[in-house]
Structure 1
Amino acid sequence: MRKLNIVKYTVKAMKAFFQGWVVAILVMAAAIAGNIQAVMSQNVKTGNSLLAQTQIKADELELAVALPELAEVFFKKGESNSGRVIGIDAQGQALSIQRNGKTAKIPLSQIARVVFKKEALAYRSNRSPIIRGGGERPTGKLVTWSGIPINNFTVKNSTQGQAVVKLKPPVVSTAQLRGIQSVARNRQYVVDEIQFNSQQRTVTILAKPY
């Protein structure tokens, strides 16, 4: 009888032991599942965030363009002035040109257009010269980008005539951006003409790839 009681007690103890282990395992499994779900949720959010950033960058292009050394500035009243374009003041609404060591600041409201001389040298981003009037022909057609905010067009290096224009919709479509980026991989866009709209604070750029 005593042995039977011992056996019963042992069986009960083993049942309690195994039940405790089962409960512990279930608790651990629930915790692990919760952690996995949290990590997956975080990864999904991170992935969406990166995707959004990629889409934003894909819809914008900071394009390096070359400004030839000499430009003719035509005024709305019929006069003109020539020199090297060295800066565009978006806030002050003025264009700065330089010639023979002298700098002139011209209000954009007075400018009809700025035409870069065909015989004037331009430089690629790697500083190699582009001789437009000496037999080097454009490798593509003239393109026109209209309605660019003036503060999206910046002269980076006036000595080398290096400028940057930020292009994005609605000025150009996403498909056009891809085409421009593809051309710019091995060619240099050279600006032929600039037109300002001082009231709308925008600029129109005419350029060709070389």
Structure 2
Amino acid sequence: MKKLYPIITATSLVFIASLAGYHLPATGDRSPVIPVFMPDDTKVSLKNGTSLSGRLIKFDSQAKKIALGRESETKEVAMKEIKQIEFQGEVTIRETRPVVLSRDGFQQQNRQRWTEPLQKFRIVDVNEGKAEVTLTSLDSLEIIVIKNVLRNSSYVVEEIKFNPSDKIEIQVNPH
């Protein structure tokens, strides 16, 4: 009976936690994945002072390259050459009904910056400008605020800056 008591206690605690709404993920990772949207027009500023423009069609964190598309042409660029990516123009969000947003309508005081490893940003659907960011660097209070914003708004990516430590700083604005 002495060996059975700790097993029953542990099982009871997990059961009680599940009733309270706390779920233990199988991987142990509780980092939320936040959907974001990207405008079609992209300006890539390179460290050598030049710039490129087009539509961000690929963000490959493994190969550390991005690809810009313009008409029928594609240009790949190594992330180590990039200073920052600025998104310009309108965004079409097709979640429930299509909504076209202009950057001019965004409010500056709502902007947020998230610093995450390269691997935590990925393009989901290039045609619809959908991407996602897995937030690992924020505390639970900040994540609650972000989830509350997502109830009535969508986050639009305005800028991505590249850090030498294989991290990116993503500037987003809810609209």
Query: TM-score, length-normalised on structure 1?
Result: 0.70
| Among 125, 128, 152, the residue aligned to 1:157 | 125
> Within 1, Cα distance between the matches of 2:81 and 2:47?
6
> Whole-Å Cα distance in 2 between the matches of residues 49 and 90 of structure 1?
36
Structure 1 gap segments, 5+ residues each: 1-32
Contact 1:124–1:188 (Cα < 8 Å) also in 2 = no
| Amino acid corresponding to residue 184 of structure 1 in structure 2 | L
Displacement after TM superposition at 1:136 (Å): 3.7
Instruction: Give the SS at the match of 1:204.
Output: strand
Q: Partner residue of 2:93? A: 123
Where do 1:170-185 residues align within 5 Å? 171-185=137-151
Aligned letter for 2:161?
Q
Question: Is 2:121–2:131's contact at 8 Å kept on the other side of the alignment?
Answer: yes
Amino acid of the structure 2 residue aligned with 1:172: L
Alpha carbons of structure 1 residues 38 and 121: separation in structure 2 relative to 1, 3 Å: closer
Matched residue of 1:185: which SS?
Answer: helix
Which of the pair has more CA radius of gyration?
1
* Higher share in strand: 2
Call closer, same or farther: CA 1:159–1:40 in 2, change over 3 Å. Answer: same
Match of 1:47 among 2, 15, 19: 15
Q: CA RMSD in A?
A: 2.8
TM-score for the superposition, normalised by structure 2: 0.83
Q: Percent identity?
A: 22
Deviations 1:141-175 (A, max 9, x none): 111112x011110000000000000012xx21110
Cα distance, 1:68 vs structure 2: 0.4
SS in 2 for 1:181: helix
Residue 161 of structure 2 is aligned to residue 195 of structure 1: yes
Q: Is the 8 A contact 1:189 1:209 kept in 2?
A: yes
Q: Give the direction of change, closer, same or farther, for the CA distance of 1:180–1:140 in structure 2 (3 Å limit).
A: farther
Greater percentage in helix: 1
Tell which deviates more after alignment, 136-145 or 183-192. 136-145
Residues 47, 120 of structure 1: CA spacing in aligned structure 2 closer, same or farther, 3 A cutoff?
same
Secondary structure of the structure 2 residue equivalent to 1:178? helix
| Change beyond 3 A, Cα 1:38–1:186 | same
Query: Given the alignment of the two structures, is residue 206 of structure 1 paired with residue 171 of structure 2, yes or no?
Result: yes
- In the TM superposition, 1:30-69 aligns within 5 A as 40-41=8-9, 43-44=11-12, 46-47=14-15, 50=18, 51=22, 53=24, 59-69=30-40
**How many residues are aligned here?**
169
Partner of 1:19: none
Is the alpha carbon distance of 1:79 and 1:143 closer, same or farther for their aligned partners in structure 2, counting shifts above 3 Å?
same
5+ residue gaps, structure 2:
none
Aligned to 1:104: 75
